[in-house]
Amino acid sequence: MTKQLKESAQRVQNKLLELGYENEVMELSDSTRTAQEAADAIGCVVAQIAKSIIFRLKHTDSPLLVVASGINRVNEKQLSNQLNDKLGKADADFVRERTGYVIGGVPPFGHVADITTIIDEDLFQFKTIWAAAGHPKAVFKLTPNQLIELTKGQIMAIK
């Protein structure tokens, strides 16, 4: 953990404080870009990682954030049917433009604009989970209920 946060991680920390949360953003020496890397660096199980995946909705050309348990893969066809829109891949430029963050560091909240958010129901089996905090080496611990509060997300089965 370093004393001074990178600018993008500090934005997440500032937003948490602004919203009244005392959760602490931590920068780790190891990468947290993937769920496995994050779990290894933190010392938790992969399923406790709340990974942020941005999709591009085809009909509206808007972003969709799926916050998924680190062990789950998103069933894109099922989710497309539930949302009545096709899910497309979001490239790095789209992600940065719509969230303000780079892939691998996208936090579940605090984006440059509001983003429709789906939360994986499997995250609710844990007391605490870990999410990206604005940089590929930055994370913060939170509860599943805090995740709902921060994102205004809808809980769904995503696999």
pLDDT 10s digits, 46-96: 999 999 999 999 999 999 999 999 999 999 999 999 999 999 999 999 999
Residue 15 has pLDDT above 90, yes or no: yes
Percent of the chain past pLDDT 70, that is, above it, reads 98
- Alpha-carbon span 16 to 20, nearest angstrom: 6
* Domains of the chain, each with CATH number or no CATH: 7-156 (3.90.960.10)
Q: What is the mean pLDDT of residues 133-137?
A: 94
Kindly give, in sequence order, each residue whose CB lies less than 8 Å from that of residue 106, ignoring residues fewer than 6 positions away. 52, 54, 65, 95, 99, 132, 134
Average pLDDT of every residue of the chain:
95
pLDDT for 1: 43
2: pLDDT confidence band, cut at 50, 70 and 90?
very low
Task: Look at 37 and 121; give whichever has higher pLDDT.
Answer: 121
pLDDT for 3: 65
Residue 128 has pLDDT above 80, yes or no: yes
SS3 assignment, position 27: strand
